Structure 1
Amino acid sequence: MFMNRRDFVGLTSLAAGALFLPSLPSFGGELVDPARLLEPGVDVAVKKRLADAALNAAKAAGATYADVRIGRYLNQGIFTREKQVQNIASTESYGAGVRVIANGTWGFAATNSVTEAGMAKAAQLAVQIAKANSKVQKEQVKLAPQKGHGEVSWKAPIQQNAFEVPIKDKVDLLLAVNAKAMDTGASFVNSVLFQVNEQKYFASTDGSYIDQDIHRIWPTFGVTAIDRASGKFRTRQALSSPMGLGYEYLTPKAADKVAGPTGSDVVGYKYSYDMLEDVAAATKQVKQKLTAKSVVPGKYDLVLDPHHLGLTIHESVGHPTELDRVLGYEANFAGTSFATLEWKAKNLPYGSKIVNLVADKTQLGSLGAVGYDDEGVKTKRWDLIKDGILVDYQKTRDQAHVVGQNESDGCSYSQSWQDVQFQRMPNVSLQPGKGKLSVDELVKDVEKGIYIAGNGSFSIDQQRYNFQFGGQVFYAIEKGKITEMLEDVAYQANTQEFWNSCSAICDESDYRFMGAFNDGKGQPSQSSAVSHGSATTRFNGVNVINTARKIG
């Protein structure tokens, strides 16, 4: 069974309370001994036999289509603050979900009785639910064709399973991070390491039997500096990105470091992360933020670091191009999209001609990388916005026909065996510039601007159109050079305005991921993880506000 929110909050409150942590990922499953996470899962031949029991029972009960997902979900979170380990939580969840079409209608049931009898019973219940639903269904489900893949497997190309690293080693790293921050002047610091392993088996009446082993990791921290005289405080979160990698992500490699513009004291990371280096920089920056100049509102050219821009991509491109949102299926919970089918038909410019955004679930090291989605569709890359024009959406098998297509995009996902799969955002990334262009070269053409790194608070309307974004650190740009740190910065725009102001993008050498580890969607809500790649990018004439100024 999944841990409910009350239990989870109780479990993590010591680690998260008042420590300026980013929102925590959902941990599902029963608390277990950490050694349990190293035990092998069920043999693939056994999983095939169990899946066949469900598929055969579904067909015998009247299903015209059925798929089965057998999942083992492992999670571990290690929470520390200053010199203390506050909590270590290891969880495991194991069960199966059966989805069917009967009388042209979906039905779904899940079970933690993973036996042939239990699987068959769940399949029969799913068919009963589908037949009951068919009495009120107005239109029959239309699935895009999908050829069976036979027996195949996919494994994340990790070098070191994070669960195999002794907990003591992981704790030692986090406490070393905390010590580095305190020794260099932080008032408070917390650090956390999240690790996830999804062992997923999919089978369908199309003839697919797919075994996948997926890993994700997220090291992060929060540093606070306080001016004791005034009571003023400032914080800075880690500039790490959650990744679809193993523990090797925490072995720094010089080649993976990417410097921000000269004078900014910002360092970005690609496929490895130096947590000690980042926390030292964060501590220096939070002390500088205590005395930094408050921004003067107005129009500025913005130079946005990938670790910042990823969130803006997520909210202003990723969500509005989800076809279920476009069609209104998410209106009750998360809103709709300005980028309707009618809007798209007009070929209105989503962005400037250098703006090319792709969806891609094949990018190795990304959070969304898998071989096959949760409908058994082989994953791929496709264009969403090409030369500034919206050309496609994100679709699953039962959505493709709505836009006249006969192929799924392979972006179906469920957070667990007990939740039904549905359309979830793939990795959505801004393509780097085609010509050689460094960050310093990007900055030198800016007369009056602001460089922003790290993602902060944000707001966006229900149609994913009007928005406001903050960040972690801000630097003034004057006559092509970084001059000083700024504070209280946020920018406002609408999606079209913003992306049409895109004037230059750095080249491939600067390309990096930002990750959303727990993106929520659906009713009941589910969480998924996606990455957003980009290089440092310039946007001209964007409206900047001062977040500290009082209104009236």
Structure 2
Amino acid sequence: MKRRDFMQYAGMGAGALLMPSLLLGNNIPAEALLEPGMDTLLKKQLADVALNTAKSLGATYADARIGRYLNQYVFTREDKVQNVVNTESFGIGIRVIANGTWGFSSTNNVTDEGIKKATEKAVAIAKANSKIQKEPVVLAPVTGVGEVSWKTPIVKNFKDVPVSEKVDLLLSANAAAMANGANFVNSALFMVNEQKYFASTDGSYIDQDIHRIWPTFGVTAVDRTAGKFKTREAMSAPMGMGYEYMDGVASEKLEGPAGMKLYRNSYDIIEDATLAAQQAKEKLTAKSVDAGKYDLVLEPNHLGLTIHESVGHPLELDRVLGYEANYAGTSFATLDKWKSGDFKYGSDIVNLVADKTQVGSLGAVGFDDEGVKTKKWDLVRNGVLKNYQAIRDQVHMIDQNESHGCCYAQSWDDVQFQRMPNVSLEPGKEKYSIEQMIKDVKKGIYIAGRGSYSIDQQRYNFQFGGTVFYEIKDGKIVGMLDDVAYQSNTQEFWNSCVKICDESDYRLFGSFFDGKGQPSQVSAVSHGSSTARFNDVNVINTGRTI
């Protein structure tokens, strides 16, 4: 499923049926989510069946991933519950190298016999593929870590919260939106628990318990006389947290310009829905933007999507090398630019980092799906391109001998491959607030929230919209704008970054269902930043035709 299509499905009662089937698994009662699952000792014994079988058949490397994937999705519209979906998916995936070639197989028959058969198939596939393999697989070394575990640090497990409480919260948000001028509203709550066990012939046995949550909604205001309607989506960010994210703790909220509520480690969906309805009504009479050059003040919930598309994807090494092209293209950031050592991806203040360890982020895990301990590394430092995102069988291609730890599979039934880690813009080093930034702008636009976007197949030329837009004149917000989108190319845009707010404004945006590959897989990834200013950017009017 395409990322841009997902939001329109989120509020539908049938929305769950439109999501990738492997995220659904088998329907189960809500109480079945609380079942403890397989004992760790038994997982180790079963994983060893795969590893020992692979070695006996001539494999030089093998890993096994036993996965239990639990999901709960709640959908509402206005004053009605549209659907509540609880699912479980359980099985094992086995990956091997034989004759210098990868082979993979999987099964939901997680028994000695079922695992042996799947492993035999994986080895047979590898040996068959080796007949046309031109170069053997080269793996970066990894030292086995023995038996270890890692858990998302959560305060409140979503599985312990009654479904009725979640429904009441969504319906209360809907009611708040309707009471403040919305004509239509839908809302949804997505909760995921990945219980993953990884074992490899390197000597690792890693048990991980990963949690993610995403509340979202869409409100619509209608002017029946004019025949117009406007929408406003939620300003929430999906997070690698427990249900405590829904508590709306006041200390975790920041005040933004034009009455915006800015959320960090907690989210008040009722407050956001109230403001969303008011802003959707305001958009009905908002001034249509005059096309031209503006200084853009971009808040993190908006800027995260721009980072995702113009930094995250083009710095995936498989895109750079042309191995990944069918799903969203290759990359302009070719190896010659990196090897030059001075390619200016952005201005001197632009520091973009990849990080799989960031607490609260969607991509935070202790180890990736190759058993590599996760870490943080530079992609762009002081505006200069420094590195890419690469996994064990890729890093030798850029003369490195250590995986970056960003390998992932959406399910036990899928082979793991290179996926985007959290990619974020570091905050400014000097104390600098949003209010100060706006005061420094003579002619500009403040943009919050995600909107439509378009980017070419090399991740270079692009156009981005947003959720709400406010005009800035002589250092002040003077009113709402509509029909706003900005156009640029990746290098020009990031080199126009002149100011970044400090860490007190730092927040996360996230993509819960980021697609890649053929056949496609989805993964969850966050992008952090503080509010940033980009000078002299081309703004177009999306509502006017010639």
**Structures share fold, TM-score greater than 0.5:** yes
Q: Which residue of 2 aligns with 1:419?
A: 414
Question: What SS does structure 2 have at the residue aligned with 1:220?
Answer: strand
1:460 equivalent in alignment to 2:455: yes
Task: Measure, in 2, the Cα distance between the counterparts of 1:425 and 1:13.
Answer: 27
Q: Deviations over 1:388-431 (max 9, x none)?
A: 00100001000010000000000000000000000000000000
Equivalent pair of 1:97/1:418 in contact (CA under 8 Å): yes
| Aligned equivalent of 2:479, options 475, 484, 507 | 484
| 1:267 Cα deviation after fit | 1.2
Q: Deviations over 1:165-185 (max 9, x none)?
A: 000000000010011111111
- Where does 1:527-546 land on structure 2 (aligned, <5 Å)? 527-546=522-541
Q: Which residue of 1 aligns with 2:13?
A: 15
Task: Measure, in 2, the Cα distance between the counterparts of 1:253 and 1:334.
Answer: 38
Structure 2 counterpart of 1:153, one-letter code: S
Q: Which residue of 2 aligns with 1:498?
A: 493
Task: Measure, in 2, the Cα distance between the counterparts of 1:223 and 1:13.
Answer: 10
- What percentage of residue pairs aligned between the two structures are identical? 69
Task: Measure, in 2, the Cα distance between the counterparts of 1:512 and 1:378.
Answer: 25
- TM superposition outliers: structure 1 runs of 4+ over 4 Å: 23-26
Q: Which residue of 1 aligns with 2:61?
A: 65
Equivalent pair of 1:226/1:234 in contact (CA under 8 Å): yes
| Aligned equivalent of 1:132, options 128, 133, 136 | 128
Normalising by structure 1, we get a TM-score of 0.96
| 1:124 Cα deviation after fit | 1.1
| 1:163 Cα deviation after fit | 1.4
| 1:334 Cα deviation after fit | 2.3
1:304 equivalent in alignment to 2:302: no
- Where does 1:252-267 land on structure 2 (aligned, <5 Å)? 252-261=248-257, 264-267=258-261
| Aligned equivalent of 1:341, options 291, 315, 335 | 335
**Matched length:** 538
Equivalent pair of 1:350/1:389 in contact (CA under 8 Å): yes
Q: Which residue of 1 aligns with 2:326?
A: 332
Structure 1 counterpart of 2:356, one-letter code: K
Task: Measure, in 1, the Cα distance between the counterparts of 2:143 and 2:70.
Answer: 31
| Aligned equivalent of 1:211, options 207, 210, 216 | 207
1:145 equivalent in alignment to 2:141: yes
| 1:333 Cα deviation after fit | 2.9
| 1:256 Cα deviation after fit | 1.1
- Where does 1:51-200 land on structure 2 (aligned, <5 Å)? 51-200=47-196
Structure 2 counterpart of 1:180, one-letter code: A
- Where does 1:218-367 land on structure 2 (aligned, <5 Å)? 218-261=214-257, 264-346=258-340, 347-367=342-362
Q: Deviations over 1:246-277 (max 9, x none)?
A: 0000001122112222xx12111110001111
Q: Which runs of 5+ in 2 are unaligned?
A: none
Task: Measure, in 2, the Cα distance between the counterparts of 1:49 and 1:16.
Answer: 40
Equivalent pair of 1:12/1:87 in contact (CA under 8 Å): no
Task: Measure, in 1, the Cα distance between the counterparts of 2:310 and 2:176.
Answer: 37
Equivalent pair of 1:24/1:518 in contact (CA under 8 Å): no
Structure 2 counterpart of 1:449, one-letter code: G
Question: What SS does structure 1 have at the residue aligned with 2:540?
Answer: strand
Equivalent pair of 1:69/1:97 in contact (CA under 8 Å): yes
Task: Measure, in 2, the Cα distance between the counterparts of 1:288 and 1:224.
Answer: 11
Structure 1 counterpart of 2:289, one-letter code: V
| 1:36 Cα deviation after fit | 1.1
Task: Measure, in 1, the Cα distance between the counterparts of 2:237 and 2:268.
Answer: 11
| 1:15 Cα deviation after fit | 2.8
| 1:24 Cα deviation after fit | 6.0
Equivalent pair of 2:229/2:284 in contact (CA under 8 Å): yes
Structure 2 counterpart of 1:287, one-letter code: K
| 1:28 Cα deviation after fit | 2.5
Task: Measure, in 2, the Cα distance between the counterparts of 1:392 and 1:15.
Answer: 43
Structure 2 counterpart of 1:446, one-letter code: V
Equivalent pair of 1:78/1:88 in contact (CA under 8 Å): yes
Task: Measure, in 2, the Cα distance between the counterparts of 1:177 and 1:269.
Answer: 16
Structure 2 counterpart of 1:430, one-letter code: L
Task: Measure, in 2, the Cα distance between the counterparts of 1:193 and 1:502.
Answer: 35
Coordinate RMSD, CA, aligned: 1.6
Question: What SS does structure 2 have at the residue aligned with 1:471?
Answer: coil
Question: What SS does structure 2 have at the residue aligned with 1:50?
Answer: helix
| 1:243 Cα deviation after fit | 0.2
CA 1:12–1:515: 2 relative to 1, 3 Å: closer
Structure 2 counterpart of 1:334, one-letter code: A
Q: Deviations over 1:30-49 (max 9, x none)?
A: 11111111111100000000
Equivalent pair of 1:384/1:393 in contact (CA under 8 Å): yes
Question: What SS does structure 1 have at the residue aligned with 2:346?
Answer: coil
Equivalent pair of 1:490/1:547 in contact (CA under 8 Å): yes
Q: Deviations over 1:22-81 (max 9, x none)?
A: x96763301111111111110000000000000000000110000000000011110000
Q: Deviations over 1:275-308 (max 9, x none)?
A: 1110111011001000000000000000000000
